[in-house]
Amino acid sequence: MTVDTTSRVPLRSRGHSALARLVPLSQSGFASEHWGRQPLVSRADELLTGAADLLGRDDVDELVSRRGLRTPFLRVARDGRTLGDREFTAGGGVGAGIADQVSDDKLLGHFAAGATIVLQGLHRTWGPIIDFTQQLAEELGHPVQANAYVTPRQSRGFDDHYDVHDVFVVQTSGEKQWRLRPPVRPAPLRDDPWTDHRSDVEEAARHDPAHEFTLRRGDVLYLPRGWIHSATALGGVSTHVTIGVHVWTRRHLADELATLAVEAASRSERVRGTLPLSPGGPRTASLDDDIEVAREALLEALRAVPATDVVAALQGRWRDTQRAAPVGPLAQVAAADDIGGDSCVRLRPHLGARLGGEPGGGARLTSRLPDLTVGEHDVGALIALVDDGVLRADMVGLDLTRRLLLAGLVVLDD
């Protein structure tokens, strides 16, 4: 039996997709007009269901004062400089002897003096943002992460710069004035940060911005990678969540092609052959022929790499960039202990699961968790679970259901 299917993933929250909470355009309209090309400012009253509730001021205070955050989940910037960790961290006290926990007392002093608080990795630490970013990543098909920037009145956190990933900026409180300038390095890659082009960025910043506007609560800015930007808080405290989209590019395809081609070319005995003696080190004249042998082998291998192999390799990287939906270990064990035939289970969201056939009639479930292999008699249950979304435990089989629960592959359906 050959099976190839992808897990069904819930893509809607309160009746609207994650992307629809950020832009007023259809997915196809956004993709054709703005994705990777042009900035887009979406006003709160244009969005049917916005994202301003992702992180409020009380939520920020909760995170920095009661959650025991450590670096690098928080950093602090002032006047274009990032403060050293010791300037805003301290020991955790009795029973928590950790030297780099965020100090709310130190943070209060810095914030009152005009520093910007940067909450990093909110896609790992704050529930509403965890859920939203996982949903958005599924819709876009590109990895997503989230930071928040909390800026005092009339303060500028960072100098003009560009990012090497696309961003959605969600203004959740206050107001912030933004200035955008076209890229000096179009479509920069991850290894091409703005600091490598500092003089060009500084020169661009001396000219009038191409776009200047103010974001208010509920407004959203989409900014493709490479666009130079800076922002200043107006009036009171400004909080915005930056959702970074680490886009896949054709460079990723080239990387996978090259890796697969080298593996294929290495099967040739000629390519594996030893180079001649070269006293004094390699010389062009003595290696010309060998270089051509390697070149031709690589070119032949590149042309022969199946597109399906490239996609499979990229799927593996895609699975590694995101997490499955959070799961409670205690709840899972309790569910496995108490499972009954009328209990309903569903595939854990955001697994990135694919079901493929195995020799002998079994099947292998590949996902963001370790692979799971089942025998032929359980294949039908897995197919139904992946395709139908929710099943009664007695339809799956109680033993298999317990196994899936303890592996974190399914959860009880509410």
In the three-class reduction of DSSP (H, G, I as helix; E, B as strand; rest coil), residue 230 is classed as: strand
Give kind and range of the element (H or E) at residue 132. Answer: helix 127-140
Is 6 within the bounds of a domain? no
Same domain, 266 and 358: no
CB 247 within 8 A of CB 317: no
Q: In which band, very low, low, confident or very high, does the pLDDT at 155 lie, cut at 50, 70 and 90?
A: low
- Inside any domain, residue 283: yes
Q: Looking at the structure, do residues 294 and 215 belong to the same domain, yes or no? A: no
101 in Cβ contact with 91 (< 8 Å): yes
Residues 285 and 386 in one domain: no
Tokens of residue 365, six digits: 């479930």
Can you give the pLDDT at residue 170? 98
Q: What is the DSSP letter of 368?
A: S
Query: Pick from 341, 351, 340, 333: which is nearest to 405 by CA?
Result: 333
Give yes or no for residue 320 having a pLDDT over 50.
yes
Residues 6+ apart with CB under 8 A from 340: 393
Q: Are strands 40-42 and 220-223 parallel, antiparallel or unpaired?
A: antiparallel
pLDDT of residue 360: 81
Which pLDDT tens digit goes with each residue over 85-102?
A: 999 999 877 777 788 899
Same domain, 217 and 365: no
Contacts of 39 (CB under 8 A, 6+ apart): 180, 211, 221, 222, 223, 224, 227
Same-domain pairing of 33 and 92: yes
pLDDT at position 4 over 60: no
Please give the pLDDT value at position 270. 94
Over 70: is that where the pLDDT of 188 sits? Answer: yes
Name residue 180's beta-bridge partners: 211, 229
CATH of the domain at 36: 2.60.120.650
Question: What is the model's pLDDT at position 16?
Answer: 66
pLDDT above 70 covers a percentage of the chain that reads 95
For the ranges 27-31, 191-195, 376-380, 398-402, which has the lowest average pLDDT? 376-380
Q: Provide the residue type at 411 as one letter.
A: V
Given 245, 272, 296, the domain boundary residue is 245
Residue 156: pLDDT band (50, 70, 90) is: low
Q: Do 29 and 120 sit in the same domain of this protein?
A: yes
Quick one: 231 and 306 in the same domain?
no
State whether 175 and 51 are in the same domain: yes
Q: pLDDT grade, residue 7 (50/70/90)? A: very low
Q: Quick one: how far is CA 411 from the chain centroid?
A: 23
Rounded mean pLDDT of the chain?
A: 91
Do 203 and 158 share a structural domain?
Answer: yes
Q: Is residue 238 part of a domain?
A: yes
Residues 152 and 278 in one domain: no
Residues shown for the chain: 414
Claim to verify: residue 127 and residue 152 sit in the same structural domain: yes
72 preceded by a cis bond (ω within 30 of 0): yes
pLDDT confidence tier of residue 266, bands split at 50, 70 and 90: very high
Mean local confidence (pLDDT), 337-342: 93
For residue 139, is pLDDT > 90? yes
Domain that holds residue 255: 250-319
Domain count of the chain? 3
Position 406 pLDDT exceeds 50 = yes
Query: What is the model's pLDDT at position 157?
Result: 54
Contact 347, 8 (CB under 8 A): yes
Q: How confident is the model at residue 295 (pLDDT cuts 50, 70, 90)?
A: very high
1 lies in some domain: no
**pLDDT, mean of residues 337-344:** 94
Domain membership flag for residue 76: yes
Q: Residues 174, 221: one domain? A: yes
pLDDT of residue 12 exceeding 50, the answer is no
